[in-house]
Amino acid sequence: MSTSATIRGRAWVFGHNIDTDVIAPADTISFGLGDAAEEDNVKRNAFRTVRPGLYREVREGDILVAGRNFGLGSHREPANKALHSLGFRAVVAESIARLFFRNSVAIGFHVFQVPTILSFVKDGDELEIDIDAARLRNLSAGSELALESYSPLIRRIIEQGGILEVLKSRLAAQQA
């Protein structure tokens, strides 16, 4: 799931307190299989209580924008993976649950906290995230905000596609 230094897509704006059960309902997860059929089921049911049929509308590269407490709740990794399988390439929220943030980094998915984001973006705006410059541009409104830069370690993990990919490359280097 590695990404380039720029992410560009439409904004999908959600409110506050979007928990992992809203993102990936518990009845769609087998807690172990993680196969293509389960991934498709989670994707089709993602956000069904707040935006039914979202999976048909999200395009590859889109950006999810939310209010406070995004990703709170049970912290199951399928919720993080559901965002990626839908086509989202980043989440920008006023605040993000700590374990949701960690799970996102672990799978190589971009997440950013911006306390004023809901006053900066509306649904459908074209956004661009410049990771190198730590800037979020609202191309529709002609405005931009600063992002907090990742630490070098977090950036490396995300760029390599997640913690498993980092571990695989370390093991390969040790065996060489």
Exposure on the CB side of residue 22, measured as CA atoms within 13 A: 16
Give the tokens for residue 73. Answer: 């709740």
Return phi, psi of residue 3, to 5°. Answer: -135, 165
Two structure tokens written together for 109: 């998915």
Domain boundaries, the chain: 6-175
Q: How many CA atoms lie within 13 A of 90 on its CB side?
A: 26
Q: How far apart, in whole angstroms, are the C-alpha atoms of residue 47 and residue 82? A: 10
19 pLDDT exceeds 60?
A: yes
Q: What is the pLDDT of residue 176?
A: 79
- Per-residue pLDDT tens digits for 125-150: 999 999 999 999 999 999 999 999 99
**Domain made up of 6-175: CATH architecture:** Alpha-Beta Barrel (3.20)
Taking only the tens place, the pLDDT of each residue in 60-88 is: 999 999 999 999 987 778 899 999 999 99
Report pLDDT for 1.
45
